[in-house]
Structure 1
Amino acid sequence: MRFIRLIVLFACAVAGGAISVLGPAAEAAPVASSVSMEPDACGPRLVKEDGTAWECTFVDNFEGTELDTTKWMVAETAFSGITNGHTGCFVRKPWTVRVIDGRLRLTARRLRTSVPCESPLGDFRTDLAAAAVTTRGRFNQAYGRFEFRARMPVTRVGGSHSTLWLYPNKHTYGPWPLSGEIDVAEWFSALPDKVYPSVHYVDGLNDVNTGHDAGFANVSRFHTYALEWTPTEMRFYYDGQLTYSHAANPLLPLLGSQPFDQPFNVVMSQAWGGLWNAPTAETPTRNMMAVDWVRVWQ
């Protein structure tokens, strides 16, 4: 995510190492299509470019009334020390992370008064509560197809920030952005009709923040956001349409696909914006992202 680096999140061990290079977008490839065979846990089988079927490795349809803690961990500032910007607090409350009517609901709320936010880096007070969940310690994967069906908050003024993303399971190549980040879909309420896929890494000199804006008629309706990640390319699809691709740079073959050759966790967060997307007096006091399902194949 551009504003919060949430899972620097659970204080992964930092290790030195090589840096990454992904280069300009490669020629677009067709989106995966369903094939005629028995469905698996993820639903209808999808076919890869080579004609073989994707194999389901992770799925959550958010059935029942509680978050499945065998699949997800709630992100909390009290545990990680990570804040939403410098003022917001990630908390686990009945109203921040809920499973109801077959959907996960992540809610950021402005409280009536400032309250203590516990942190191993030092407690502070804030009136901004945020929500996030991660598969850290439960599931991680390098390469494959990652798919979310979600709807963003209804607000059309600045202050809200929603993201469906992937973060390295370990800081193999060093702290952010050396070990990379993949934003499958990032939404800023100050730009309500755009959703951004992007890739963060270092090219040897600079933090490379690639990205492309995709327009939507109404992001507060459910859309399907997908990533197909291979050793040489990442392809981002919104509602089945290729919206952005990013390929390994052939001019620097010695660096290969680092850091995107390591397992990443799945993360979803509903937070508050900052800088040009900071909350204003017009920002609703409650912003909720709903997730219908998450599916991963390999």
Structure 2
Amino acid sequence: MQIPWTSVKRKSDPTVSIVPNNPENSLSQLRIAVFNDGTNESGTFYINEVGYFTSASGYFEASLILYHPGLPEYDAEYDIVVKNDGVPINSGFTLRANDARVEIQGGKVTVPYSVREQGKDVIVTATSTSGQSSSVIIPSKKWDITFNDDFDGNDLDPTKWSVFEPELSYGSAPSYCARDCYEVSDGTLKLLAKKRETVLNGRTYQYTDGAISTENKFTQSLGCYVSAMRYEPWSGICGGFWLLPEFHGQRQSLFFDGPRSDLGCGEVDIIEWSNIFGDRYCVTEHFWNYNTNQHSDTNHVMASPQPGKMYDGQFHAIGVVITESNSYYYCDEELVGVFEHSYTTLNASGETMYPANNFMLFSYRMGPDNDSNWVGRWNFDDSDFPLKYEVDWCRAYK
């Protein structure tokens, strides 16, 4: 049985059709009440092909717990639940995909990047021992690279990077951002914190740290931003990978808190890590009231990739995919966080607010060696300097 999208009407207004555009940000499932007694429901109807819902066979149904686009160049993992009469079951059925390269173990489906890069949608079909079947479609996102730096030279590429806010210090920090805050060698970027006494604006500092960005050199809106990085085991200092919007005279927004909201996201922290966080790291979206320019809210999660990744001395890809309706955060192939948002919003006057383009930023900043430091007390001493936050490559995609 198939039902055209355009024939599905809103109960509150039968003249209005529900016409989804894609399964990521629109209606992707449909349940139909049996109105002659008002108590029963049919099986779930799913998007099966463009323009139609299709019914599962009877009450046996498979569904995708959460769709996500995955990181470019990495496999993507998904979880499928199979239900009989609405109750999850773990046996009495088989799962098969329409491509032999797709791996299925239990209810976990791994779609290799060799499939995803072709833009080929994966269809996983659950078949019961009695012959009932239900299929799930996992859309594949095909990416185009828009920015790439492998740091293969002996200096930063000046067409891509510059020191961010040089000679700037925050609050009670014991350091400031030095113009020579980095090193490019042996195929990697090293952001450096150094022990050295300098005087800046009449104040004596014992340390310098640093940040670089693509501001005024590379920007885009939406898409994927990802970098491979590794950390030394220090607390009291924080290594970050961020997105900030272009300034345009005042703080802009990358996206908004909802379709009618005064809050715009003015900073995306893809990762902030210090040894005090252990196996986890901070993922944060900061929202400002775009009328008052006051910091008002955050979306925040302590990302928890596989244990040991932050300590194993290997480079790991940390990234975000931003769509018009969601932000998906990753560590390698692992999805570690998801937030919803709106790409545009209506302000109080009914005008549509649009986001600005964003640029990428790496930072390695020290805090004071006291309990006010949100990334912990220092676990290093002067003999450990220079401290290093290392980046193997950085990429962006659309």
TM class by smaller structure: 0.7 to 0.9
Give the 3 Å change call, closer, same or farther, for CA 154–281 of structure 1 in structure 2.
closer
- Which of 284, 295, 303 is 1:198 aligned to? 284
Amino acid at match of 1:144: G
- Which of 126, 141, 165 is 2:220 aligned to? 141
The alpha carbon displacement at 1:189 in A equals 2.5
Partner of 2:210: 131
| SS of aligned partner of 2:362 | strand
The alpha carbon displacement at 1:234 in A equals 0.7
Amino acid at match of 1:55: D
Deviation string, structure 1 residues 39-94 (Cα, Å, up to 9, x no partner): xxxx988467864521111000001211111100012533xxx314433210122x
Partner of 1:89: 176
**Within 1, Cα distance between the matches of 2:329 and 2:276?**
22
Partner of 1:103: 188
Rg: which structure is higher? 2
Higher deviation after alignment, 239-248 or 193-202: 193-202
Are the equivalent residues in 2 in contact too, given 1:188–1:273 (CA < 8 A)?
Answer: no
TM-score by length of structure 1 reads: 0.72
Q: 1:184-263 alignment to 2 at 5 Å?
A: 184-202=270-288, 207-215=296-304, 216-220=307-311, 221=313, 222-248=315-341, 254=346, 261-263=355-357
The alpha carbon displacement at 1:169 in A equals 1.4
The alpha carbon displacement at 1:239 in A equals 1.2
**Within 2, Cα distance between the matches of 1:131 and 1:232?**
33
Structure 1: which 5+ residue stretches go unaligned?
1-25, 36-42
Structure 1 residue 166 corresponds to structure 2 residue 252: no
| SS of aligned partner of 2:151 | coil
TM-score by length of structure 2 reads: 0.56
Give the 3 Å change call, closer, same or farther, for CA 164–33 of structure 1 in structure 2.
closer
Structure 1 residue 69 corresponds to structure 2 residue 69: no
The alpha carbon displacement at 1:207 in A equals 2.2
| SS of aligned partner of 2:301 | coil
Give the 3 Å change call, closer, same or farther, for CA 169–175 of structure 1 in structure 2.
closer
**Within 2, Cα distance between the matches of 1:32 and 1:183?**
17
Q: State the structure with bigger RCO (CA 8 A, min sep 6), 1 or 2.
A: 1
The alpha carbon displacement at 1:286 in A equals 3.0
**Within 2, Cα distance between the matches of 1:70 and 1:206?**
32
Partner of 1:23: none
Higher deviation after alignment, 69-78 or 229-238: 69-78
**Within 2, Cα distance between the matches of 1:32 and 1:218?**
17
**Within 2, Cα distance between the matches of 1:60 and 1:50?**
29
Give the 3 Å change call, closer, same or farther, for CA 46–289 of structure 1 in structure 2.
farther
**Within 2, Cα distance between the matches of 1:73 and 1:189?**
27
Give the 3 Å change call, closer, same or farther, for CA 185–28 of structure 1 in structure 2.
farther
Paired residues in the alignment total 251
Are the equivalent residues in 1 in contact too, given 2:320–2:327 (CA < 8 A)?
Answer: yes
Are the equivalent residues in 2 in contact too, given 1:63–1:101 (CA < 8 A)?
Answer: yes
Structure 2: which 5+ residue stretches go unaligned?
1-64, 75-112, 120-137, 254-262
| SS of aligned partner of 2:346 | helix
Amino acid at match of 2:143: W
The alpha carbon displacement at 1:147 in A equals 0.7
Partner of 1:17: none
**Within 1, Cα distance between the matches of 2:139 and 2:69?**
12
Q: 1:41-56 alignment to 2 at 5 Å?
A: 46=117, 51=140, 53-56=142-145
Aligned-residue CA RMSD (Å): 3.4
| SS of aligned partner of 2:297 | strand
Give the 3 Å change call, closer, same or farther, for CA 278–56 of structure 1 in structure 2.
same
**Within 1, Cα distance between the matches of 2:309 and 2:140?**
34
Deviation string, structure 1 residues 138-192 (Cα, Å, up to 9, x no partner): 101110011110001233xx31110011111115763899661001111023223
Give the 3 Å change call, closer, same or farther, for CA 97–53 of structure 1 in structure 2.
same
**Within 1, Cα distance between the matches of 2:70 and 2:331?**
10
Give the 3 Å change call, closer, same or farther, for CA 265–273 of structure 1 in structure 2.
same
Partner of 1:277: 375
Partner of 2:396: 296
